[in-house]
């Protein structure tokens, strides 16, 4: 495939419908972008090797034991669910007669939801540890991607004081994400003790919260270069909806799939930078855009 055909594919992908569909296309755009610009491969290969080591540890230490734990926990569910079904009014029990057994059905649902939660948790940990250990290469990848996409970077000369500020801002960013996770995650944790409806709500809400965490991580590099606060970054995410939501969901799915997740993190870093270059940076308010590029809101 020639560079011209690559450019045409990228142009066609970027022209897909705005909003819901647009956000989800950015990982594919990033893959094609990296393929076109071979100088980016040096920023991708080493993080993938780092992710292989991290992934092996996480899969051996979390995923496999967690999978066995789901089987052991769920094996006792039918007993108390059968008692719960038996305690329902007769009209409600009759509604469940179409099932082989109500308990077995809910057992399968809970197994499925818990398996999704386990994959998502493993993916989140891979993103966090991978981002820390691969930070130098990911930072370089994001910078080069932005320079190639926009032809410029915001002004700012490196210095020792700025490096210290960067470390402090990175720590506070993770702490604020942790606070956000606790504030919204604890209610979901409590709902888990109210099956089956509470478990379902908690699983859906937990995955949505995980998608927000992943989205903030992958959109962070170009926003952090402009020294945006955590509140401003949340505002950027909100103003970019629904594209930012589907972008985050697509990245969360990729980092939650075993083996594929080992390759997905650098792709999603580049995807987040492309997303910001196309749908965020040209439309930042004047007090947030350090490079002064303004324009109308994207559709």
- Range 109-112, long-range pairs (CB < 8 A, 24+ positions): 109/196, 109/200, 110/74, 110/77, 110/195, 110/196, 110/199, 111/70, 111/74
Residue carrying the six token digits 């981002």: 131
CB of 181 closer than 8 Å to CB of 213: yes
pLDDT at 68: 62
Say what percent of the chain tops pLDDT 70.
Answer: 62
- The per-residue b/e assignment along 32-71, b for 16 or more CB within 10 angstroms, e otherwise, is bbbebbeebeebbeebbebbeebbeebbeeebeebeeebe
CB of 279 closer than 8 Å to CB of 243: yes
- Kindly tell me if the per-residue pLDDT of 291 is higher than 50: no
pLDDT one-digit tens code per residue, 34-86: 989 988 888 888 888 887 887 777 777 766 666 666 555 555 445 555 565 56
Per-residue confidence band for 246, with pLDDT thresholds at 50, 70 and 90: very high
pLDDT at 269: 92
Under 8 Å CB-to-CB from 240, ≥6 apart: which residues?
23, 275, 279, 280, 298
CB of 25 closer than 8 Å to CB of 254: no
Would you give the end-to-end CA distance of the chain in angstroms?
32
């Amino acid at each position: 495939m020639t560079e011209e055909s690559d450019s045409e594919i990228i142009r066609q992908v970027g022209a897909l419908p705005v909003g819901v569909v647009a956000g989800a296309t950015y990982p594919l755009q990033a893959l094609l972008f990296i393929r076109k610009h071979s100088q980016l491969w040096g920023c991708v290969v080493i993080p993938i090797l780092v992710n292989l080591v991290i992934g092996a540890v996480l899969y051996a230490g979390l995923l496999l034991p967690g999978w066995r734990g789901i089987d052991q926990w769920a094996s006792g569910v039918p007993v108390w669910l059968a008692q719960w079904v038996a305690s329902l009014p007769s009209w409600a029990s009759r509604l469940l007669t179409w099932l082989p057994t109500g308990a077995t059905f809910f057992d399968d649902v809970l197994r499925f939801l818990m398996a999704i939660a386990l994959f998502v948790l493993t993916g989140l940990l891979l993103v966090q540890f991978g981002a820390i250990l691969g930070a130098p290469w990911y930072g370089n990848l994001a910078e080069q991607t932005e320079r190639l996409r926009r032809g410029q970077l915001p002004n700012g000369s490196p210095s020792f004081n700025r490096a210290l500020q960067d470390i402090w801002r990175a720590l506070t960013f993770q702490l604020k994400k942790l606070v956000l996770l606790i504030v919204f995650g604890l209610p979901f944790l409590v709902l888990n003790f109210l099956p089956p409806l509470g478990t379902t709500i908690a699983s859906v809400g937990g995955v949505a919260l995980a998608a927000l965490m992943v989205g903030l991580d992958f959109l962070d590099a170009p926003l952090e270069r402009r020294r945006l606060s955590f509140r401003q970054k949340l505002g950027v995410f909100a103003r970019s909806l629904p594209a930012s939501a589907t972008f985050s969901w697509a990245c969360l799915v990729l980092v939650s799939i075993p083996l594929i997740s080992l390759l997905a993190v650098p792709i999603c870093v580049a995807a987040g930078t492309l997303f910001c270059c196309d749908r965020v940076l040209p439309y930042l308010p004047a007090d947030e855009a350090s490079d002064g590029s303004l324009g109308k809101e994207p559709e």
